[in-house]
A and B are shown apart, each in its own frame.
Chain A
Amino acid sequence: MGVIEVSGINKSFGETQAVNNVSFEVTQGRIFGLLGPNGAGKTTAIRMINNILIPDSGTITINGQQASAATQNMIGYMPEERGLYKKMKVGEQLIYLAQLKGLSRSEAKDAIRFWLERFDALDWTGKKVGELSKGMSQKIQFIATIAHDPDIYIFDEPFSGLDPINSETLKEVVLELRDKGKTILFSTHRMEQVEQMCDEICLFNKGRAVLKGDLREIKQSFGKNTINLEFQGDASFLDKLDNVRINNRSTNFAEIRVLNGQNTQDILRTAMSHAEIYTFERIEPSLQEIFISTVGEDNINPKDLG
């Protein structure tokens, strides 16, 4: 049974249908990625799981219970638009937020002490959040999300705006939580960031869940029909290749998706005659490539994919 079960949910705002008949299931102890371009309905779906929005139809259960005020306490949620009270002291603020999640005052104090110590931030307790640097307040935000020790963690676009050090910390903690049997769901439009982390994914496009399942299985099913090409020299030959789609192109690198059975050896020969080849490797497609071939090139705005 899934820790989070979403079945057939719909949500409209006026004319726009933000989420259209979406179902998925998140199993315990897994890292689940909700992927898709901006405006695909990820945040709306996440807000419904958090009981901030109520679906027009369909059901959401958390640990077998209908989403409600009670299930909110089972979740640690870090929204995309996040922040803290700037004029409030770190310690008081964290205690307040943990109390709102159902902890008693003394439980909250203990938990917050533990986490502040863990992040080397015990000195900040009496400081106002407005006095902290951005990186410091990101850590405080993180403690606010996890202090009440929930079973489920939901991060909406967790890496946007996070500095590299905190990104690493977040990744470490997320993996650590997973190893403790916690369940993690996060959403992102930057697909390359989550490839290494996710066990399962659900691809969103225009309010619909277009592809879902175990990440490794999905990748295998797409086959090794992508070429990683590193080269030195004139890159213009890439434009002359037929039946390919080029992703992640830069001055001396290209990820080439082979379409319609185009012969990979022909591509190699063309490349060799124009440039010096450092790497030529057949790999499984990237998530971004999987997304594009799932929804069709015409159905997405490439700018939405970071």
Chain B
Amino acid sequence: MAYWDQEKECMPREELEKIQLRRLKEIVFRVYAFVPAYKEKMDQAGIKPDDINKLEDIKNLPFTTKQDLRDNYPFGLFATPMSEVIRIHSSSGTTGKPTVVGYTRRDIEIWAELMARALSSAGATKRSVIQNSYGYGLFTGGLGVHYGAERLGASVIPSSGGNTKRQIMLMQDFGTTELTCTPSYALFMHEVMQEMGVKPADLKIKAGVFGAEPWSENMRREIENKLEIDAYDIYGLSEIIGPGVAIECNAKSGLHIAEDHFLAEIIDPISGQVLEDGNEGELVITTITKEALPLIRYRTRDLSSLNREECECGRTHARMGKVLGRSDDMVIIRGVNVFPSMVESVLLDIPGVEPYYLLVVDRKDNLDFLEVQVEISEKLFSDEVRKLEELGTLINKELESALGIGVKVRLVEPKSIERSEGKARRVIDKRKI
């Protein structure tokens, strides 16, 4: 078992909780003193920093949402002067004003440490050649992984996203041992490999660290079989720090949250009540060491669960379940919540179906319709209409029984669904346009 920092990763929980409480108190003091928006929120909620005496008291603190970041655009929630901020990242802002995050030198250090932990957990070492195909730039994926891989001492190929043929050439020529990118891009790379006649068995790649979008267990199987690697899920979001908030170990049964830096809770997304471990709900994270942008009870919109039981890998940090979906990815169709990951899981259970699909939601005569477009693969194609229609009916039946709503399945030509070099677009909601 390879740990990056065994002392911290395997710390007895009692000791860990002491550190967490000390850090939580500090951070609450700090935001109350330095961030007017937090002082206002806490005053409104009638809570003072002195009221935090045990870890459970966290539930009395107000939540922070993406909207708070937008309302204080760009730097209003920063707790340090700009002279201390050495890096700024930002979201793309496709759904409104971008959210802006800042890092002090120490924040960047901690981030690199956490990413080194994450890469080690996926089996990477200083002898690894890590091809980092997350986008470099304002997006935290590229630089986050990059600093961690350097901290680890591995050889980093900063290939960023895009130019897929060149990515595969680099993989061959530089002997890439670990690949980091979004899971959908990993599958697209495999497609291009096939076109180029490159066999995964001839490559040195052993593992991949995939994240930045929800992906199902079936997708993991698909990636592992096709690329002949171990696929690890990594979790993070720029508001909290970027990639490295949580990472799978080789038990692959949940992602260890770096609990010495982040406190995690699962809440009921509607009532806001904290749920017991094991229940599914919205993940809420408090950063307890961040300097530039500390966030108290940040609502991630990611749906997951928590497990604080001991893991076979020896790490004591709590595990979050694989993210099932984002509440903003979720589409509500006739009152039923539908996640792209549910559709993906159903499709990949049908032999021969490729994980390229698109959900199109539309409204006709005040009724919502879900169309699921599925690419027809060579394996599934038949020259007989009857057989293709049977396939369509089968997919339809499976989807309807899994989702609980009527679905129209449309078989489409291969490669007609847009391939992504970053986060895949899975839903087109025409109701909003």
Q: Are both chains from one complex?
A: no
